[in-house]
Amino acid sequence: MRNFRHLLLLIPLLLLPISLWAQAPVSAGKVSQPADWDKDLALNIPKDLNPDPHILEINLEAVVKEMEIIPGKKTQVWTYNGYLPGPLIKLNVGDRLIVHFRNSLPEATTIHWHGLRIPNNMDGVPDMTQPMIQPGGEFTYDFVMPDAGTFWYHPHVNSAAQVGYGLYGAIVVEDPKAPKIPGDELVLVFSDMSLDENGVMQAPSSGGRFGDLFGREGPVILVNGKVMPTLQMRKGKQQRWRVINASRTRYFTLRYKRSPLVIVGSDGGMAEHTHTVDEIKLVPAERYDFVFTPPDEPGADGKFRWYPTNRGYGSTYNRLAEDIMNMHTINEPAVTPEPVPEQLRKIAPLDLKDAKERTLNLTIGYDKDENVAMGINGVHYKDATPYMIKVGQTEVWTIRNDTDFNHPFHLHGFFFEVLDTNLPMQWKDTVDVPQHSVVRIAMKFDDRPGMWMFHCHILDHAEVGMMGHLHLER
């Protein structure tokens, strides 16, 4: 009997390893994402009209479509091919993109291919690189993808209004030779929309001079064109997020329970090596590429939130975090995350020995009618003269912001290196210049002559004058 009692005492100990083994994480490479994990967030894929595997040829139409953004309310949305965001353009570096574009909007427009280092006549700036495309008009964009990375497209006519109405879409260019990054890819376009409680679009001039000064943030926050979509996750099963801020003004602070975010790239593709953070500040027009590892226990539900971000005077006053996406972790055992390669590529810093120096002061003032008039070096865009630059020239620009608001600075057509930073070497085309601060950037102008624009990508600021241009010549 005593031996039998001893045996009973041993049974829990014999069962314990089996129980632990049953709950132990499994290898991430052996399991898939949850069924329909990204169904709520899937972007439209356009029909390829060309049989050549290295040419993506599509039709793209800017058209007004009635959509239900606020549940139960109808909104007249400006779209590409009837989708919000527009179709996801995805191809490999070196591939050719042909876009047969038709404008079915009630006003003129163009398409700017944000971040792409393409020929000047394809850049989409009206009256500078091409004529405006009038209602009913057509234009064919045709160029080769020179770089891998995450990019986007949007209008450059009446930009603040047209982007605010819904005209934007994502571009992903992959490099088959790049290091393998663990995680299933998810493209996320963050934006907002100025709708009233009935779903009616507010006027682009809402808020008057204050709207011009502060920038217009729509009260309805969207993730891939939806209010509160749901992302399905499995604990430990990595996802590779490519994120784009397509807002006119709104900054997004990205974090989820302070979980590690392993950054592998930004505007100009992969960085030289990874670095890990627990939050990312994503300014208008900026992109990041990172590995997210779902941290929640099986069966848990969470909320991905927008957090107020200090971008200048009054930008966080009396504002609270807002839920913008449901995060559901399926009730399945966790998986063990895969390692992310640390070294991604080699990027040689620019040789600045003979670089030309320029200073750009971002300025805010008022015109004779007391309207907000922003500019660069005190000059409104309409009165600015272009910087004259020779092909092959390297320049260092000191961007000084003595105003009370942050300004995300964007240069068309060229990557730049952000100087005086401790971040890994990476190429950028958009950088935040915080209030009362200085940011230095360096760029080399390759052989793509023409007129190129630079501006604040708070689009309301650009519209009231914070833009400039350069004339690149041989």
Q: Give the Cα separation of 1 and 310 in Å (integer).
A: 73
The per-residue DSSP string of 393-448 comes to -EEEEEEEE-SSB-EEEEETT--BEEPS--SPP--BSEEEE-TTEEEEEEEE--S-
Report whether 79 contacts 85 (CB < 8 A). no
Place of tokens 């730049």: 416
Neighbouring C-beta atoms of residue 357, cutoff 10 Å: 11
Chain center to CA of 87: 15
H-run or E-run covering 23: helix 2-23
Residue type, 78: W
Q: What is the pLDDT along the chain (474 residues), one digit of tens a residue?
A: 444 444 444 444 444 443 333 455 676 667 999 999 999 999 999 999 999 999 999 999 999 999 999 999 999 999 999 999 999 999 999 999 999 999 999 999 999 999 999 999 999 999 999 999 999 999 999 999 999 999 999 999 999 999 999 999 999 999 999 999 999 999 999 999 999 999 999 999 999 999 999 999 999 999 999 999 999 999 999 999 999 999 999 999 999 999 999 999 999 999 999 999 999 999 999 999 999 999 999 999 999 999 999 999 999 999 999 999 999 999 999 999 999 999 999 999 999 999 999 999 999 999 988 999 999 999 999 999 999 999 999 999 999 999 999 999 999 999 999 999 999 999 999 999 999 999 999 999 999 999 999 999 999 999 999 999 999 999
Single-letter amino acid code for the residue at 184: D
Residue 7's identity, in one-letter code, is L
Give residue 368's pLDDT: 87
Give residue 23's pLDDT. Answer: 52
Q: How far from 413 is each of 122, 124, 261, 425, CA to CA, in Å?
A: 10, 11, 29, 19
Q: Which has the closest alpha carbon to 309: 439, 394, 167, 405?
A: 405
Q: Which amino acid is at 253?
A: T
Q: Locate 102 and state its tokens.
A: 């038709």
Distances (CA, A) of 78 to 153, 165, 215, 459: 14, 5, 20, 17
What is the Cα–Cα distance from 212 to 46, expressed in whole angstroms? 36
Q: What is the largest CA-CA distance in the chain?
A: 103
Burial (CB < 10 A; 0-12, 13-18, 19+), residue 70, is: middle
User: pTM for the complete prediction?
Assistant: 0.93
CA dist 347 and 38 (Å) reads: 33
In sequence order, which residues have a C-beta less than 8 Å from that of residue 216 and are 6 or more positions away?
160, 164, 194, 204, 206, 207, 248, 249, 460
Contact 39, 233 (CB under 8 A): no
Task: Classify residue 128 as left (phi > 0), alpha (psi -120 to 50) or beta.
Answer: alpha
188 in Cβ contact with 244 (< 8 Å): yes
Q: Supply the DSSP symbol for 366.
A: E
Class of the CATH domain delimited by 356-473: mainly beta
- Please name the residue ranges forming H helices in 143-293: 159-165, 208-214
Burial class of residue 321 (count of CB atoms within 10 Å of its CB; 0-12, 13-18, 19+): exposed
Q: How far apart (Å, rounded) are the C-alpha atoms in residues 433 and 439?
A: 6
Overall size of the chain counted in residues: 474
Q: Do domains 39-174 and 184-336 have the same CATH topology?
A: yes
**Tokens 């632990």 sit at which residue?**
20
Give the distance from CA 375 to its chain's centroid.
25
DSSP state of 95: -
What residue spans define the domains of the chain? 39-174, 184-336, 356-473
Q: In this structure, are strands 239-245 and 252-254 parallel, antiparallel, or unpaired?
A: unpaired
- Specify whether the CB–CB gap between 435 and 396 falls below 8 A: no
Question: 337 exposed, middle or buried (CB, 10 Å; 0-12, 13-18, 19+)?
Answer: buried
159: enclosing H helix or E strand:
helix 159-165
Residue 85: closest CA among 153, 184, 138, 39: 153
Measured CA to CA, the distance from residue 322 to residue 66 in angstroms comes to 26
Measured at the CA of 215, the angle between CA 211 and CA 217, to 5 degrees, comes to 100
3-class secondary structure, 59: strand
Fold (CATH) for 39-174 = Immunoglobulin-like (2.60.40)
In this structure, the number of other CB atoms found within 10 A of the CB of residue 390 comes to: 11
Q: Under CATH, what is the fold of the domain 184-336?
A: Immunoglobulin-like (2.60.40)
